[in-house]
Amino acid sequence: MERGEEEKIVIVGGGICGLATALALHRKGIESIVLERSENLRATGAAIIVQPNGWRALDQLGIASKLRQTALSIQSGQYITVKDGKKKDLPVGDVGELRCLKRTDLLNALAENLPADTVHLGCKVMSIKLDPSTSYPILQLQDGSVLMAKVVIGCDGVNSTIANILGLNSTRLFSTSVIRGFTNYETGHEFGGAFLVFSKDDVQLGLLPVTEKLVYWFVTRKQTSQDSKASKSQTLIKELTVEAMKDFPIHIMEMVKDSDVDSLHLTDLRFRAPWDLLGSNLRRGSVTLAGDAMHAMAPFLAQGGSASLEDAVVLARCLSQNQTMRVDEKQAKTMINVEAALDQYAKERKMRVFWLSLETFLIGTMLDTSTLLVKSLCIISLMVLFRDKIAHTRYDCGRL
Ligand SMILES: Cc1cc2nc3c(=O)[nH]c(=O)nc-3n(C[C@H](O)[C@H](O)[C@H](O)COP(=O)(O)OP(=O)(O)OC[C@H]3O[C@@H](n4cnc5c(N)ncnc54)[C@H](O)[C@@H]3O)c2cc1C
């Protein structure tokens, strides 16, 4: 099936993946529009760790050099057991380029390189169906309008509406919650370029410097009965987190106490089961998925965002490679063989996101379970399948 250049590519969701996909398409000369339900670009979660595979994708998108100026390079890492002060090196130096970006910096860098009118804010997609006669996707928007698109790319995150049409099951929950935030040190912090993790029982605090003055930190712990109330009050998030830090080193507790309350966010952890990914062909008609909508994975490898950037590069490359020029007596037209392009994309991404999802699933289950047998099975599977712990950072999504 070939389609003409007037056809609109509609990206649902203006998060990291939606904006990156629009930018990747723009770099290849392909127009798209992004429908984002929020009234502004959402940078929830303070910061994001970007590993070498993510930097390779950002290089292809043409925004890496600007972003490098906004974030320190992380050179070393340590895991510290709070009870006895024992320290263990983390393999950070071996990973290669690792930086922690402010989410606003990343979203802005993506958005400001897009043509005006690409991003449509306040546009919530309520449902999607395929037109029975043309098979084109039809989007129902919250304001009552209906949009017939020629291609729909669902970048609408963990609770994706677009994923429904591909028959993917809903995402599932781990029993862990994460609190994330920033602390600003007026006169500079003491952490240099180190990624530190402090651990006590089932509470862990990780911190990474963003700049000489700004530190991003996250706390992982089991969900509590207060979480649903706390997720609506940043002051309560702070109180609960300070409380959870009471046996941690004093400078760590102070860091949480002095954090910027507006940056705090508490979230539960959702994931798409790896076997759901294997069982789906990731395309129905001219609808596909990218980012968390396709491969929501808990952040144990800090790879969800980088994998979303890879999706964007690969998807734009596949659509571009499947373009042909048609000349008739009136005009020249660029046609895209959409289905071939989306199949090529799905084929290229499926095993990459399957292995990432499987590794995070095994780590998450190992941390989640109280059953010794399950824990042991996860540990053995991780040792056998993921012996090289940083292999996932070496992936190269290739040229745009
Ligand atoms: C605690 C935590 C820490 C993380 N840390 C890291 C990390 O350090 N490194 C890393 O690489 N990844 C990390 N991740 C994962 C990363 O945040 C995600 O993979 C990434 O944000 C996915 O981007 P996305 O654009 O696919 O989804 P999202 O960022 O969720 O964006 C989806 C967008 O779609 C919009 N939307 C949703 N529904 C609709 C609709 N119906 N209509 C219109 N718009 C809609 C939303 O408003 C949103 O803007 C972390 C995740 C969590 C939960």
Distance CA 332, CA 330 (A): 7
Distance CA 318, CA 338 (A): 9
Instruction: Decide: 16 in ligand 1 pocket, CB within 6 A.
Output: yes
Ligand 1 pocket member 305 (CB < 6 A): yes
pLDDT for position 162: 97
Pocket test for ligand 1, best of 34, 292, 300, 306 (most atoms within 8 A of CB): 292
What number does the ligand 1 atom closest to the CA of 291 have?
26
Summarised one tens digit per residue, pLDDT across range 341-363 is 999 999 999 999 999 999 999 99
Distance in angstroms (rounded) separating the CA atoms of residues 300 and 52:
16
Whether ligand 1 lies within 6 angstroms of the CB of 125 is answered as yes
- CA–CA separation, 111 and 105 (whole Å): 10
**pLDDT computed for residue 79 by the predictor:** 97
Structural contact between residues 215 and 209, judged by C-beta atoms closer than 8 angstroms = yes
**What 3-state class would DSSP assign to 172?**
strand
- Residue 330's pLDDT is 73
CA distance 200 to 205: 9
Q: Report the relative pairing of strands 47-50 and 87-89 from DSSP bridges.
A: unpaired
What integer pLDDT is reported at residue 2 of this predicted model? 41
Does the CB atom of residue 291 touch ligand 1 within 6 A?
yes
Q: Say how many Å lie between the first and final Cα of the chain, rounded.
A: 24
Picking from 219, 209, 210, 216, the residue whose alpha carbon sits closest to that of residue 260 is 216
Q: What amino acid occupies position 254?
A: E
* Distance from the alpha carbon of residue 132 to the mean position of ligand 1, in angstroms: 32
Whose CA is closest to 368, among 208, 177, 97?
A: 177
Q: Given ligand 1 and candidates 36, 67, 120, 303, which is best to mutate, with the most ligand atoms within 8 Å of its CB?
A: 36
Residues 6+ apart with CB under 8 A from 2: 324, 326, 335, 336, 337
List the residue whose alpha carbon is closest to atom 39 of ligand 1.
156
Distance from C-alpha of 379 to C-alpha of 79, rounded to nearest angstrom: 19
289-316 burial: b if 16+ Cβ within 10 Å, else e: bbbbbbbbbbbbbbbbbbbbbbbbbbbb
What domains are there in the chain, each with its CATH number?
A: 9-171+272-394 (3.50.50.60)
Q: Does residue 271 sit in helix, strand or coil?
A: strand
- At residue 32, what are phi and psi to the nearest 5 degrees? -150, 165
Question: CB of 76 within 8 A of CB of 92?
Answer: yes
Task: Name residue 374's amino acid.
Answer: V
Residue-level pLDDT at 369 = 93
How many Å separate Cα 187 from the centre of its chain? 32
| pLDDT given at position 302 | 96
Rg for the chain (alpha carbons), in Å?
22
Burial of 140 by CB count in 10 Å (0-12 exposed, 13-18 middle, 19+ buried)?
middle
CA of 8 relative to ligand 1 center, distance in Å: 24
Contact 295, 272 (CB under 8 A): yes
Choose one of 10, 11, 17, 395 to mutate for the ligand 1 pocket test, by most ligand atoms within 8 angstroms of C-beta: 17
17/59 Cα distance (integer angstroms): 15
Residues of the chain with pLDDT under 50: 1-7
Q: Is 284:129 a contact under the CB 8 Å cutoff? A: no
Predicted local confidence at residue 64, as pLDDT: 98
pLDDT of 331:
78
Question: Which pair of structure tokens corresponds to residue 93?
Answer: 């130096």
Residue 325 is predicted with a pLDDT of 82
Separation of CA 86 and ligand 1 centre (Å):
35
The Cβ of residue 227 has, within 10 Å, a number of other Cβ atoms equal to 18
Give the SS3 label for residue 175: strand
Collapse the DSSP code of 239 into the 3-class scheme (helix H, G, I; strand E, B; otherwise coil) and give the result: helix
Indicate the SS3 state at residue 74.
coil
Ligand 1 near 178 CB (within 6 A): yes
How far is Cα 253 from Cα 198, in angstroms, rounded to an integer?
11
Angle at 253 between CA 231 and CA 182, to 5 degrees: 55
